[in-house]
């Protein structure tokens, strides 16, 4: 009956009636913008989108250990999380992760996930991670942006830079399979800029590889191996920005060896040496 009365009133409207005009009562009549066609049994209630609440992002927490970022947050009210993004900044490197496509694990119930990014673990033993997060609900409404920071805790030993000479080498004792060492080249100048030195003891435990990688993808770093008398035993000097550099050695017991990391070209930055 309601719909029939509505159509009857519309049918009786004068032909020259305008949907937006002054009827002489001092008020401007506004036409209804609802163009939905009603059908019997249909709820034709209009939704006032202006009254909707924005999705809520109350908190953001991250931890970083051994190449894994663990992200936890309080997402949109009502559990209507449809996606979002995380932007991470780790020592100047910006990366974007879409939720949930780029996450290694994702639990929509607890609204937490993990990011496994092996490239981060290739060149840093410790750093500061800053993360920005923004979520969206099923209607593509976006939350406010939240930020958080944490310390990146890797699984290696940071090599202090005491100087550019062999006598400044940092003594790590034995360098066995599984060990990881990290450092930073402050300058790169065809092998004559900053030099980082590692001193280690021989052990007769067989051959192993000393593998050098670095953060700056456009840089060319090199790896040199010397004995205790600074006699060059071998080098790894790929031409161009080619990673990794690697040296194989069976370190003789009672000997002492030195590894030197230097840069030939490109930006200065962090490096990582893994014993494999």
Residue in 212, 202, 213, 203 with CA at minimum distance from that of residue 258: 202
The model's pTM:
0.65
Distance CA 103, CA 100 (A): 5
State the residue for tokens 């939704």: 47
Distance CA 255, CA 258 (A): 10
Locate 276 and state its tokens. Answer: 């494999």
Distance CA 69, CA 73 (A): 13
Question: What pLDDT score was predicted for residue 21?
Answer: 40
- What domains sit in the chain, N to C, each tagged with a CATH number? 60-153 (2.60.40.10), 157-275 (2.60.120.380)
Question: What pLDDT score was predicted for residue 162?
Answer: 85
121, containing H or E segment: helix 118-121
Q: Is 11 helix (H, G, I), strand (E, B) or coil?
A: helix
Q: What is the mean pLDDT of the chain?
A: 77
pLDDT digits (tens, 9 = 90+) for 145-158: 888 888 877 778 99
Question: What pLDDT score was predicted for residue 210?
Answer: 97
């Amino acid at each position: 009956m309601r719909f029939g009365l509505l159509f009857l009133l519309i049918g009786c409207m004068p032909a020259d009636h305008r949907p937006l005009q002054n009827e002489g009562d001092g008020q401007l009549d506004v036409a209804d913008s609802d163009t939905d066609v009603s059908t019997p049994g249909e709820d034709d209630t209009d939704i006032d989108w202006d009254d909707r609440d924005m999705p809520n992002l109350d908190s953001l927490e991250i931890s970083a250990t051994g190449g894994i970022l663990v992200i936890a947050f309080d997402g949109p009210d009502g559990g209507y999380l449809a996606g979002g993004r995380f932007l991470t900044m780790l020592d100047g490197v910006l990366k974007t992760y879409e939720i949930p496509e780029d996450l290694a694990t994702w639990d929509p119930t607890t609204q937490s996930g993990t990011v496994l990014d092996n490239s981060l673990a290739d060149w840093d033993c410790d750093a500061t991670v800053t993360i920005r997060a923004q979520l969206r609900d099923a209607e593509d409404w976006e939350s406010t942006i939240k930020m958080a920071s944490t310390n990146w805790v890797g699984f290696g030993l940071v090599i202090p830079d005491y100087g550019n000479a062999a006598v400044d080498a940092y003594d790590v004792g034995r360098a066995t399979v599984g060990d990881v060492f990290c450092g930073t080249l402050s300058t790169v100048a065809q092998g004559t800029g900053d030099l980082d030195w590692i001193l280690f003891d021989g052990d007769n435990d067989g051959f192993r590889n000393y593998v050098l990688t670095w953060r700056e993808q456009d840089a060319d770093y090199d790896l040199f191996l010397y004995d205790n008398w600074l006699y060059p035993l071998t080098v790894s000097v790929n031409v161009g920005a080619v990673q990794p550099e690697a040296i194989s050695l069976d370190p003789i017991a009672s000997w002492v060896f030195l590894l030197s990391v230097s840069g030939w070209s490109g930006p200065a930055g962090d490096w990582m040496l893994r014993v494999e």
